[in-house]
Amino acid sequence: MIKGKQSIAFKASPYIEESASVVGKKEGEGPLGSRFDMVGLDDMFGEDTWEKAESSMQKEACQLALGKAHLTAGAIRYLFGGDLLRQGVATSLGVEQLQIPMFGLYGACSTSGEALALASMCVAAGYGERMLVVTSSHFGSAEKEFRFPLSYANQRPLSAQWTVTGSGAFIVGKNRSHVRITGVTVGKIVDYGLKDSQNMGACMAPAACDTIIQNLEDFERKEEDYDRIITGDLGYVGQSILFDLMREKEYDIKERHMDCGMTIFDQSRQDTHAGGSGCGCAAATLSAYILPAIASGEWKRVLFVPTGALMSTVSYNEGASVPGIAHGIVLEHC
């Protein structure tokens, strides 16, 4: 069960039984646009504030996933959810109506990995037939939370990332599907002392490197044992740093690396600078693009590594550094 220093290998691996993705207008116009389950016509989802819109996306994603699995909320034992907003209110107010006993999580943009890890650990341990995982982010609410309200029309440096307006929901359970979670690697906080909240990719790359190498060591695997190693939202800047850091440790993942933040937007025509980011970026991409490729057998084994930058406006203004964290989820075709 326990594997190496930080990992767990499941004896009876849980399945991702079903999933759903909900995204905003810009994400719908991106390369993955036609693959999402729901694309908003605007980014308000029928609400009057960005925060409520984000909650609405979470609720929709959960209900879509439940609907696709022909289940009601009562069939779910526990919910694991989180978002980027202070005190995780997008989740609290988003999942409230479902009335599922819940664990609120915070791992910045790594939250989808944290939630999938805990949900699969709970199913494998026999703590319930099925768990629900949901995470989200919203460009409007995140810019207001971390940088400047959109109406200030603030300029963004090229190293900045574009927070994805989106949510992904996943039903993790014992019922056979074509994707299993066979193992997890829980991440440590990694701090290289960087302080630039407009360059999150650089802040998160060391954590991604740490978790990927730990996963390979714990499971005694090589890079080529994975068809893809997929980070959450390092973006273009973070990816090149990740490659450099991995090379220093004599690992090379260039050929098999994919980053959700680089996949969800088209940098050349969408003005998204260093790429997409946010709790919703990795989650929506996993549901819409990665899981179908694993389910079809195109990819047999994938290491999914959502990455998070741990900071708040208060810690940033007080001069604290921005450490990163990343959790690894091993997904296999079956």
Cβ 239 vs Cβ 201: under 8 Å: yes
Burial of 73 (C-beta count, 10 Å sphere; 0-12/13-18/19+): middle
Choose one: 112-120, 222-230, 280-288, 289-297; the region binding its own copies (CB under 8 A): 112-120
Cβ 286 vs Cβ 112: under 8 Å: yes
CA distance to 28, 197, 261, 289, per residue, from 194 (Å) = 33, 9, 20, 32
Q: Does 119 contact its own copies by CB under 8 A?
A: no
Out of 63, 240, 270, 312, the only residue in the binding site for its own copies (CB under 8 A) is: 312
Q: Does 106 contact its own copies by CB under 8 A?
A: yes
| Rounded Cα–Cα distance for residues 305 and 177 (Å) | 21
Out of 88, 183, 238, 276, the only residue in the binding site for its own copies (CB under 8 A) is: 88
Choose one: 180-188, 236-244, 263-271, 297-305; the region binding its own copies (CB under 8 A): 180-188
Residue span 22-61 as binding mask against its own copies, x where in contact by CB under 8 A, dash where not: ---------------------------x-xx---------
Q: Does 273 contact its own copies by CB under 8 A?
A: no
Nearest distance in Å: CB 323, its own copies: 6
Kindly tell me which of 66 and 262 has the beta carbon lying closer to its own copies.
Answer: 66
| Rounded Cα–Cα distance for residues 184 and 115 (Å) | 11
Residue 80: CA atoms inside 13 Å, Cβ hemisphere, count?
22
| Rounded Cα–Cα distance for residues 28 and 159 (Å) | 23
CA distance to 21, 29, 63, 169, per residue, from 111 (Å) = 16, 25, 20, 12
Kindly tell me which of 103 and 243 has the beta carbon lying closer to its own copies.
Answer: 103
- Positions touching its own copies (CB under 8 A) are 1-2, 6, 8, 49, 51-52, 77-78, 82, 84-89, 92-93, 95-96, 99-108, 114, 117-118, 121-122, 124-128, 144-145, 186-189, 191, 310-315, 318, 320, 323, 325
